[in-house]
Amino acid sequence: MNWEPLTSEEQLTAINELSHRHPVAIFKHSTRCSISSMIKSRLERDKAPADVTFYYLDLIRYRNVSNRVADDYRVEHESPQMLLIRDGKCVYHESHNGISMADIGDHAV
């Protein structure tokens, strides 16, 4: 898994633009949560869809970015949380044990 770090609100504009070419996933991770760490580990073991760019957001360190993601995509904040962005819109979001690489792949097409 090659995570792209998401550390600034300005990157969200680039993510929206990129999502018009191929899907973009944003994983909101709490470094203080064992469930979040377990889900991150599971994602890293599973085969990621080749056409999806994966961003990693440390929501403790970059809470302002996490809040902006929730606002921009009209998705209530949860942690851990995965969002899939396609054509500038959130087409999939899931949290906790509901997050799966298979579901991400299914919604990426």
> 3.30.70.1560, 3.40.30.10, 2.30.30.60, 3.40.470.10: which CATH number matches 3-108?
3.40.30.10
- pLDDT for 36-79, tens place per residue? 999 999 999 999 999 999 999 999 999 999 999 999 999 998 89
The answer to whether the CB of 73 falls within 8 A of the CB of 90 is: yes
Residues ≥6 apart with Cβ < 8 Å to 96: 35, 39, 78, 80
Q: What local confidence, expressed as pLDDT, does residue 38 receive?
A: 96
Question: Of all residues in the chain, what percent carry a pLDDT higher than 90?
Answer: 94
The answer to whether the CB of 14 falls within 8 A of the CB of 64 is: no
Residues ≥6 apart with Cβ < 8 Å to 36: 29, 30, 79, 80
pLDDT level of residue 1 (50, 70, 90 thresholds)? confident
User: Domain residues of the chain, as ranges?
Assistant: 3-108
pLDDT level of residue 109 (50, 70, 90 thresholds)? confident
* Rounded CA separation 103/72 (Å): 22
